Amino acid sequence: MKLPIYLDYNATTPVDPRVFEAMTPYFTQVFGNAASRSHSFGRQAEAAVLHARNQVAALLNAEQDERLGAREIIWTSGATEGNNLAIKGVAEAYAEKGRHFITQTTEHKAVLDPFKRLATQGWDVTVLPVDAGGRVSAKQVADAIRPDTVLVSIMYANNEVGTVQPIREIGAVCKERGVIFHTDATQAVGKLPIDVQADGIDLLSLSAHKLYGPKGAGALYVRKKNPRVRMAPLFDGGAHERGFRSGTLNVPGIVGLGMACEIAAHELVNERLRLSALRDRLQSSLKQRVDPVAVNGDERNRLPHVANLSFPGVDGTSLLNALDDVAVSSGSACTSASLAASHVLLAMGLGEARAHCAIRFSLGRFTTIEEIDYVVEKFAAIIPRLREEHGTDGQACAPQADLRPAT
Ligand SMILES: Cc1ncc(COP(=O)(O)O)c(C=O)c1O
């Protein structure tokens, strides 16, 4: 077993060696611009991009096209861009139809912040509350839809607690009411089976670096029929990607994303079982060894590889500092630099104390049982010591933190 141990796969994943191998020729040998159809360099690059479109589409059950490649896949730089394009692009394109949007409170900042900007520009945004496990219901969405509602954006699965939303039910409500349905599926793609047809999804953001592909590559699924979704582009230029996203394509990144999706499609079923068994072992061992431990999130509707646990009496930041050879996180990667309690845990009503003693474990493809057992031993050694040192410190998570179950 090699140290340090990485249990922060929700922040980012290593590139799978098979993905890296597939990408390599596209840096130095097949380096053409995929838009340069006048010569073989460009055409070879274009063929690789076309193949990758179908690989991504296959994982989502989007429409594939042998000749043109799946045209519903729009390449982006990642999920932040995909979310911005979906939300702001739809807002601009449908401004005449209506100016009301619906989302929910535990979304990633890459969804909440585009909505915040729209709100300052005169759009009306309803942010639905979640239950104690972090879920919204399809009924909440149905009740919030108005005649001027244009788009509903609800994430597939949460990055901090792993809670999976009732996507298929929400998709059905949106279909019935003629509202566009966007989902930020960054943490779910490749981990759960996703079917844009059965789930009623019109727009879906994903990111390569969360599924063993490279950083800086991503895709937005944009439905082409029933309905044909319109979007204004975020930037203007050469009208690549059906005019939705101008800019020379990142061919190696796209090839990597395609390969990452193909591998995920093959391995998803077994990997889901393997990871949930490891995660359950971690969670139950920690409950035994360093009781009390509270589970944050919805245990019945949770990503297989995620456990967000609160250790009362232990401040999350002190714990991270004491863990020299285990990489976990105390919030989402993007906000863990700030000391503010996680907006996700607060939205779930868990309180500041419980939020400050929360640790996110996210397991992945290269996690082994030996690593899990090592991490349990490590926590069993550190937690009692920190509880003694910090238990009564006002800054630390209070020992009497609310431990009611999250679901
Ligand atoms: C749910 C969710 N959405 C969006 C993002 C942003 O993705 P990217 O890093 O590809 O911009 C992340 C990454 O942390 C995420 O977890």
Domain closes at, from 263, 296, 316: 263
| Res 400: pLDDT | 46
Residue 390, pLDDT above cutoff 80: no
Do 135 and 165 touch, CB atoms closer than 8 A?
yes
- 127 within domain boundaries: yes
Nearest Cα residue to 70 out of 51, 48, 54, 47: 54
Residue 303 has φ and ψ, to the nearest 5°, of: -55, 145
pLDDT tens string 148-181: 999 999 999 999 999 999 999 999 999 999 999 9
CB 147 within 8 A of CB 98: yes
79 CB within 6 A, ligand 1:
yes
Cα(42)–Cα(46) distance, integer angstroms: 6
> Residue 338: its pLDDT value, please?
54
Pairing of strands 180-184, 326-327: unpaired
Highest average pLDDT, of 71-75, 353-357, 397-401, comes from 71-75
Atom of ligand 1 nearest to the CA of 158: 1
pLDDT tens digits along 20-42: 999 999 999 999 999 999 999 99
Asked if the structure places residue 398 within a domain, the reply is no
Separation of CA 186 and ligand 1 centre (Å) = 6
- Tokens representing 239 are 């009208």
For residue 241, being part of any structural domain is answered with yes
Would you place residue 339 in the very low, low, confident or very high pLDDT band (cuts 50, 70, 90)?
Answer: low
Q: Which residue did the predictor score with more confidence, 2 or 396?
A: 2
pLDDT digit string, tens, across residues 143-153: 999 999 999 99
* Whole-number pLDDT of residue 403: 53
| Closest to 361 (Cα-Cα) out of 298, 261, 286 | 286
**227 and 258 both lie in a single domain:** yes
Q: Does ligand 1 have an atom closer than 6 angstroms to the CB of 76?
A: no
Instruction: Report the CATH number that the domain containing residue 294 is assigned in CATH.
Output: 3.90.1150.10
What CATH number has the domain bearing residue 200? 3.40.640.10
pLDDT tens, position by position, 278-303: 999 999 999 999 999 999 999 999 99
258 and 300, same domain (yes or no): no
Residue 360 has phi, psi (to 5 degrees) of -100, 120
Q: Which residue has the tokens 């994943």?
A: 13
Q: Would you say the CB of residue 104 lies under 6 angstroms from ligand 1?
A: no
Same domain, yes or no, for 184 and 69? Answer: yes
Q: What is the pLDDT of residue 113?
A: 98
Residues 216, 80 share a domain: yes
Identify the residue whose tokens are 């499609």: 265
Within-domain flag for 404: no
Checking if the pLDDT of 341 tops 90, the result is no
Say yes or no: 242 and 125 in one domain: yes
Instruction: Collect all residues with Cβ–Cβ distance below 8 Å to 407 and sequence separation of at least 6.
Output: 131, 132, 133, 297, 298, 299, 300
For 82-103, give the DSSP string. Answer: HHHHHHHHHHHHTTTT--EEEE
**Considering 217, 247, 263, which residue would you say is the last residue of a domain?**
263
Cα separation, 135 vs 273, whole angstroms: 23
- What predicted TM-score, i.e. pTM, was given to this entire model? 0.94
Whether 398 shows a pLDDT value over 60: the answer reads no
The rounded distance, in Å, linking the Cα atoms of 113 and 384 is 39
The amino acid at 353: A
Overall number of domains in the chain:
2
Cis peptide before 114 (omega within 30 of 0): no
Does 214 reside within a domain?
yes
pLDDT of residue 385: 94
Mean pLDDT of 372-378: 98
In a domain, 139, yes or no: yes
- Asked, for residue 324, whether it belongs to a domain, the answer is yes
Q: How many CB atoms lie within 10 A of CB 127?
A: 17
Last residue within a domain, chosen from 223, 244, 263: 263
35 & 100 share domain: yes
Cβ(153) to ligand 1 under 6 A?
Answer: no
Q: How many Å lie between the centroid of ligand 1 and the Cα of residue 36?
A: 31
Cα–Cα distance, 406 to 355 (Å, whole number): 12
Q: How far apart are CA 340 and CA 355, in angstroms?
A: 9
Nearest CA to ligand 1 atom 11: 80
Whether cis (ω within 30° of 0) applies to the bond prior to 227 is: yes
Q: In residues, how long is the chain?
A: 407
Whether residue 240 contacts residue 247, with contact meaning beta carbons closer than 8 Å, is answered with: yes
pLDDT at 236 over 50: yes
| pLDDT over 60 at 392, yes or no | no
Over residues 314-323, the pLDDT tens digits come to: 988 889 989 9
Q: Answer yes or no: do 383 and 321 share one domain.
A: yes
- Which residues have CB under 8 Å from 268's CB, separation 6+? 190, 191, 192, 193
* 401 belongs to a structural domain: no
Residue 405 pLDDT class (50, 70, 90 cuts): very low
178, burial (CB in 10 Å: exposed 0-12, middle 13-18, buried 19+): exposed
Q: Which residues pair with 75 in a beta bridge?
A: 219
Q: Is the pLDDT of residue 9 over 90?
A: yes
By percentage, how much of the chain surpasses pLDDT 70? 93
Report the separation in Å between the CA atom of 13 and the middle of ligand 1, taken as the mean of its atom positions: 12
Instruction: Please give the distance, rounded to the nearest whole angstrom, from the Cα atom of residue 79 to the centre of ligand 1.
Output: 5
Q: Is 218 in the pocket of ligand 1 (CB under 6 A)?
A: yes
Range of the domain at 309: 5-12+268-390
Regarding whether 273 and 239 lie in a shared domain, the answer is no
- Phi, psi dihedral angles at 247 (to 5 degrees): 135, 140
Per-residue pLDDT, averaged over 200-216, amounts to 98
Q: Are residues 28 and 104 in the same domain?
A: yes
- Asked whether residue 238 falls in the same domain as residue 333, the answer is no
Q: Are residues 89 and 214 in the same domain?
A: yes
The verdict on whether 334 is a catalytic residue reads yes
74 falls in which pLDDT band (50, 70, 90)?
Answer: very high
**69 alpha-carbon distance from chain centroid:** 25
User: What pLDDT is stored for residue 360 in this prediction?
Assistant: 96
Does 257 lie in the same domain as 206? yes
The first and second tokens of residue 158, run together, are: 């949460």
What integer best gives the mean pLDDT of the chain? 93
